[in-house]
Amino acid sequence: MCAAAGATAQTKSAVPAPAADTVLLSETADGDYIVRRFIVKSRGDADYSIRYQINLATLNAALNGNPQELDGLNAFVDNLVKDTLRQVCAVTITGYSSPDGPLKFNEALAAKRAGDFKAYVDRKYDFSKKYKVTVNSVAEDWETCRALVAQSSMPDRQSVLNVIDGKQSSDQKELALKKMPAAWSYLKKNVLPKLRRVELTIGYGAGNIVEQRTMIPKPKPAPQPQPAQPAEPYVVVDEQVNGIIVEMPDRHEYKKEVREESREVKKEARAAERLAKKEAREAQKIVRQQEKAAKKIAKKEAKAAKKAEKAAKKTYKELEKM
């Protein structure tokens, strides 16, 4: 199901993320830093439960619990406009009715409630024009009824569960429950009103943009080879006002000295080149290690966010059922 919040930070991830997947968007240089931008993708859904009055299929925004649910829905839709990464995949609206009353009547009532709430979100948010909206209905929601009874401390709880689990028709189950006055009174007050509702599920895909800035290691400058000084082709042995008397070196000795100095210069140049290549390889290795660590952190945080989101949903549904 497909909505999420975007974020840009030094090395920061903030996303509710089941099945997180990190994708590199770009890599640029900014002064002394390499700047990489990632998107962390995930999937999730937003659920809202809207109550309806007995035998009615017209939304009452002030009914117990509805103001909070409708405010939450309104805030969610507002964020769709503000967040460019938020994209809704599907919207599902399901109408329900409580199991008391004739089956045919409840079937029509559940469908009318779903249609009424669809008209509400279309009128206020244009959902049908923007997204794929699916409408369903469930008459006589015995499954949720059983779950609420099982977690309650109502009178004759086990007897009520035995009736619900039985193979009788819905009308026969209702008659059997009415024969237990204390249990039926509890059901009418604490269980059946929660079953008269519409469930809205908005499926979305979440994407958080994360920016990582890594300082570029600076290799030490290679020592510059000094230019070789040519050997003097002569040695001054005496100098007079009228001229210079020199002693010429041996020709073969002079060439040998030049060759040795040339070899020494080349040797130093090769050593400097090897040092520069080694430092460049070490710098690239550091960059790769930092990138790998960043991805690992992003996935770990996404996994933690997924666990927290599931726990929050579970707590919410438990509170809703109480």
Query: Which domains are delineated in the chain?
Result: 21-213 (3.30.1330.60)
Judged against a pLDDT cut of 50, whether residue 282 lies above it is answered with yes
Q: Which residue carries 């035998």 as its tokens?
A: 55
Give the DSSP H or E segment for 89: strand 87-96
Higher local confidence (pLDDT), 44 or 10: 44
Judged against a pLDDT cut of 70, whether residue 190 lies above it is answered with yes
Judged against a pLDDT cut of 50, whether residue 199 lies above it is answered with yes
Overall average pLDDT of the 123-145 stretch = 92
Instruction: Give residue-wise pLDDT tens across range 209-232.
Output: 666 778 877 777 777 777 666 555
Overall average pLDDT of the 76-92 stretch = 80
Averaged pLDDT of the chain:
79
Work out the pLDDT band at 10, boundaries 50, 70, 90: very low
Q: What phi and psi values does residue 160 have, to the nearest 5 degrees?
A: -65, -45
**Sign of the torsion formed by the C-alpha atoms of 107, 110, 116 and 118:** negative
Task: Work out the percent of the chain whose per-residue pLDDT is above 70.
Answer: 75
Overall average pLDDT of the 170-176 stretch = 92
- For the chain, where are the E strands, in sequence order? 21-30, 33-51, 87-96, 133-138, 197-215, 235-240, 243-247
Direct distance between the N- and C-terminal alpha carbons of the chain, in angstroms, rounded to an integer: 27
The pLDDT of residue 25 is 58
- Give CA angle at 133 (131, 135), nearest 5°: 175
The pLDDT of residue 173 is 92
Overall average pLDDT of the 291-304 stretch = 79
Work out the pLDDT band at 277, boundaries 50, 70, 90: confident
Judged against a pLDDT cut of 50, whether residue 7 lies above it is answered with no
Q: Are 142 and 97 in contact (CB under 8 A)?
A: no
Burial 198-211 (b: 16+ CB within 10 A, else e): bbbbbbbbbbbbbb
